[in-house]
Copies of this chain bind each other. A is one copy, B any other.
Amino acid sequence: MEHVFRLTLACPDRVGIVARVSNFLAQYNGTITEANQHADLQEGWFFLRNEIRADSLPFNIETFRQAFAPIADDLQMTWDVHDSQTRRKVVLLASKDNHCLADLLNRWHGGDLDCDIPCVIANHDHLRGLVEWHGIPFHHVPVDPANKAVHFDRVAELVEAAGADTLVLARYMQILPASFCARWPQRIINIHHSFLPSFIGARPYHQAFERGVKLIGATCHYVTDDLDAGPIIDQDVTRVSHRDDVSEMIRRGKDVERAVLARGLRWHLEDRVLVHGNKTVVFE
């Protein structure tokens, strides 16, 4: 993978933003390898993502940050620049189900997910062997239904200790307390096993079966304290029929969950997802 800086920004739309940004890059001889922009005409907001070849620039990421800051301030940008060689630290949270976790580990192992995985945390011990085979520490943190706070405190502690940048709920099946969500805004990624906003809440495949839908889906979204209502990163569906009972829907759904979560995480890691209000701009 090429060494690039990834600049992402959002700001009120006005004339000349691209000119300011591209002049800045051109003045330092920066080679843009990928560029995306979006003007939300209704909201009057502008979004941009540029990949710049790191070795084409005369400075490192810190100097880049300092040099760019005045432009960003001037145009009231929410912005960031990320060095592709600084791999993100992603903590995976799981329960007993292995399909999403195993898929992510397999992709990571094969080099298709550009991140470090400092540890996996689960409320059951089932998946320890799988995780440890990949050389990743596994923490079993049980949930006491009478006192869930203990669990979440311990998880938060482990996440902090790992220096994690991103959390992925790989079918973790626990509802996060609001205070937990607030600590990692737009950095906790969940896979919900329905095509949201259909079948919010528990047992979505059972709900889908009862309604007799002809497609089932999955949704990858950022977690907010409003359950299943956070900004959607990606969704997909697969066809089902009268022949498929709930267990078959669950089996088929797994493939969609795996694919959608992997895609959403990948886009997140590559700084392709910009959140605005409760919606996302995805520069895939």
**Taking beta carbons and an 8 Å cutoff, which residues of A are in contact with B?**
15-16, 18-19, 22-23, 25-26, 29-42, 47, 56, 98-99, 102-103, 106, 109-110, 112, 129-130, 133, 195-199, 211-215, 217, 231-237, 241-243, 245, 251, 254-255, 259, 278-282
Contact = CB atoms under 8 A, between A and B. Distances in A.
Contact of A39 (B34, B236, B259): B34
A47 B26 CA distance: 17
B37 A35 contact: yes
A195 B215 contact: yes
Instruction: Please tell me how many copies of the chain the complex holds.
Output: 4
10 contacts: A15-B29, A15-B30, A22-B23, A32-B39, A42-B245, A133-B133, A196-B211, A197-B198, A237-B237, A242-B282
A22 B37 CA distance: 13
A35 to B, nearest CB: 4
Contact of A56 (B15, B19, B30, B282): B15
Contacts of A237: 195, 215, 237
Given A15-B26, A215-B217, A237-B237, 8 more contacts: A22-B22, A35-B37, A36-B36, A40-B242, A195-B198, A196-B211, A198-B198, A215-B235
Contacts of A243: 34, 38
Contacts of A196: 198, 211, 213
A242 B267 CA distance: 14
A37 B35 CA distance: 6
Contacts of A30: 15
A203 to B, nearest CB: 15
